[in-house]
Amino acid sequence: MQLKITSPIATIHHAVTRYKIRLIGLHAQHLSGKVGTGLHNSKWVSPAQFTQYPLSTTARKIAGMIEQAKHVD
């Protein structure tokens, strides 16, 4: 799959047990191709469809930021 990264959304710092995670959310535009064939049950969805999928806490935060950014642009 080829994407064009257009802009950053946000960076979230998160900790799980003793591990620290930095999650960087990016706006991306799909250019060509399909989601990797090695990823079972994976697909590209619009932000409006996020509520239909189980997301982790950090993924929900990024999803909310995507929605907020959509209304600002």
* pLDDT tens digit sequence for 6-24: 888 888 888 888 999 898 8
Q: In this structure, are residues 42 and 36 in contact, taking their beta carbons and an 8 Å threshold?
A: yes
Cα torsion 4, 31, 47, 51 to 10°: value is -120
The confidence score (pLDDT) of residue 63 equals 83
* pLDDT tens digit sequence for 32-69: 887 766 666 777 788 788 889 888 888 888 888 887 77
The confidence score (pLDDT) of residue 4 equals 92
How many separate domains does the chain show?
1
The confidence score (pLDDT) of residue 20 equals 92
Q: Print the domain residue range for 31.
A: 2-72
The confidence score (pLDDT) of residue 39 equals 63
The confidence score (pLDDT) of residue 71 equals 59
Nearest-angstrom CA–CA distance, 56 and 14? 12
The first and second tokens of residue 40, run together, are 């079972």
